[in-house]
Structure 1
Amino acid sequence: MKVSLLLVVVLAGLVGGFVRAESAIRSGDRIALVGNTFADQLRVHGYLEAMLLRHDFEEAVSVRNLGWAGDMLTARDRPTNFPSEVETLSSHQTDVIIACFGMGESFAGVPGIEIFKKDLGAFLVSHEGKSYNGKSEVRLVLVSPIACEDLGTTTPGTDRRNSELESYSMAMKEVADEAGVPFVDLFGPMRDLLSEGGAAEFTTNGIHLNDLGYWAVSQAFFDQLVGENRTPWRISVDAGEMKVTASGVQVAGVNGDEESFSFSVKELTAPNPAPPIEVALSPWISARRDTVTVTGFAEGSYELMVDGVSVATARHDEWAAGVAIDRSPAHREAENFRKAVKDKNLQFLYGWKALNQVHIVGERKNSSSGRALPAELIEFDKLAKRKDEVLRKGYEPQTRTWSWKLVPALK
Structure 2
Amino acid sequence: MKTSRRGKFNVLIRNQSSGKRNLIHQGLSNDANDFHRKETMKYASIVAILICSLAVSVAAAESPIKSGDRIAIVGNTFADQLRIHGYLESALLQHAHGVSIRNLGWGGDMLAARDRPTNFPSEESTLGAHRTDVIIACFGMGESFGGKESLGKFEQDLEAFISSHAGKSYNGESEVRLVIVSPIACEDLGGLTPNRDARNEDLLAYTQAANKVAANAKVPFVNLFETSRYLMDEPVGPNLTTNGIHLNGFGYWAISHGFADQLLASDQSTSREPWRLSIDAQAKRGQGYGIEISKLTIHASEVAFEGTETLAPRLPPPTDQPLPPPLAFQRDTLVVQNLATGTYKLMVDGEKVATATADDWRHGVPIDSSPAHHEAEKFREAVNDKNLQFTYSWKALNQVHIVGERRTSPSGRALPSEVIQFNELANQRDEAIQSGVELKTRQWRLTRIEN
TM, length-normalised to structure 2? 0.87
Aligned AA for 1:64? R
Contact map agreement 1:5 1:322 (CA 8 A) in 2:
no
Contact map agreement 2:44 2:273 (CA 8 A) in 1:
no
Q: Within the alignment, does 1:297 sit opposite 2:339 as a pair?
A: yes
Q: 1:130 aligns with which of 160, 168, 171?
A: 168
Aligned AA for 2:313? P
- The Cα of 1:177 is off from its aligned counterpart by 1.2
State which drifts further: 137-146 or 164-173: 164-173
- Structure 2 CA distance for aligned equivalents of residues 223 and 243 of structure 1: 32
Q: 2:329 aligns with which of 269, 275, 287?
A: 287
- The Cα of 1:6 is off from its aligned counterpart by 2.4
Map of 1:51 onto structure 2 = 91
Aligned AA for 1:241? A
Aligned AA for 1:394? G
Map of 1:213 onto structure 2 = 251
Distance 1:326-1:199 versus aligned 2 partners, 3 A rule: closer
TM, length-normalised to structure 1? 0.95
- The Cα of 1:199 is off from its aligned counterpart by 5.1
Q: 2:52 aligns with which of 12, 17, 29?
A: 17
- The Cα of 1:79 is off from its aligned counterpart by 0.1
- The Cα of 1:211 is off from its aligned counterpart by 0.3
Aligned AA for 2:20? L
* Cα deviations by residue, 1:32-52 (Å, 9 ceiling, x for unpaired): 000000000000111111111
Contact map agreement 1:39 1:65 (CA 8 A) in 2:
yes
Aligned AA for 2:440? Q
- The structure with the largest helix share of the pair is 2
Aligned AA for 1:401? Q
* Cα deviations by residue, 1:54-113 (Å, 9 ceiling, x for unpaired): 22x4x4110000000000000000000000000100010000000000100111111111
- Match runs of 1:256-295 below 5 Å: 256-295=298-337
- Structure 2 CA distance for aligned equivalents of residues 201 and 262 of structure 1: 38
- The Cα of 1:189 is off from its aligned counterpart by 0.9
- Match runs of 1:7-406 below 5 Å: 7=21, 10=43, 12-15=45-48, 16-18=51-53, 22-55=62-95, 57=96, 59-198=97-236, 200-228=238-266, 229=269, 230-406=272-448
SS at match of 2:438: coil
* Cα deviations by residue, 1:118-140 (Å, 9 ceiling, x for unpaired): 11111000000000001110000
Contact map agreement 1:31 1:95 (CA 8 A) in 2:
yes
- The Cα of 1:394 is off from its aligned counterpart by 1.4
* Cα deviations by residue, 1:260-286 (Å, 9 ceiling, x for unpaired): 111122212111100000113221220
SS at match of 1:198: coil
* Cα deviations by residue, 1:232-270 (Å, 9 ceiling, x for unpaired): 111111111011122222222211112111112221211
Contact map agreement 1:30 1:93 (CA 8 A) in 2:
yes
SS at match of 2:141: coil
Contact map agreement 1:303 1:312 (CA 8 A) in 2:
yes
| Structure 2: gaps (5+ residues) | 1-16, 25-41
| Structure 1: gaps (5+ residues) | none
* Cα deviations by residue, 1:271-312 (Å, 9 ceiling, x for unpaired): 110000011322122011111111110000111111111100
State which drifts further: 62-71 or 111-120: 111-120
Contact map agreement 1:12 1:287 (CA 8 A) in 2:
no
SS at match of 1:310: strand
- The Cα of 1:12 is off from its aligned counterpart by 5.0
Aligned AA for 2:241? T
- Structure 2 CA distance for aligned equivalents of residues 22 and 88 of structure 1: 26
- Structure 2 CA distance for aligned equivalents of residues 83 and 315 of structure 1: 59
Contact map agreement 2:52 2:258 (CA 8 A) in 1:
no
Counting aligned pairs with the same residue, the percent is 55
- The Cα of 1:402 is off from its aligned counterpart by 1.3
- Structure 1 CA distance for aligned equivalents of residues 196 and 43 of structure 2: 29
Contact map agreement 1:5 1:321 (CA 8 A) in 2:
no
Contact map agreement 2:375 2:437 (CA 8 A) in 1:
no
Q: Within the alignment, does 1:6 sit opposite 2:20 as a pair?
A: yes
- Structure 2 CA distance for aligned equivalents of residues 199 and 406 of structure 1: 31
- Structure 1 CA distance for aligned equivalents of residues 20 and 362 of structure 2: 12
* Cα deviations by residue, 1:330-367 (Å, 9 ceiling, x for unpaired): 11100000001111111110110011000000011111
Aligned AA for 1:95? D
- The Cα of 1:5 is off from its aligned counterpart by 8.2
State which drifts further: 21-30 or 376-385: 21-30
- The Cα of 1:396 is off from its aligned counterpart by 2.3
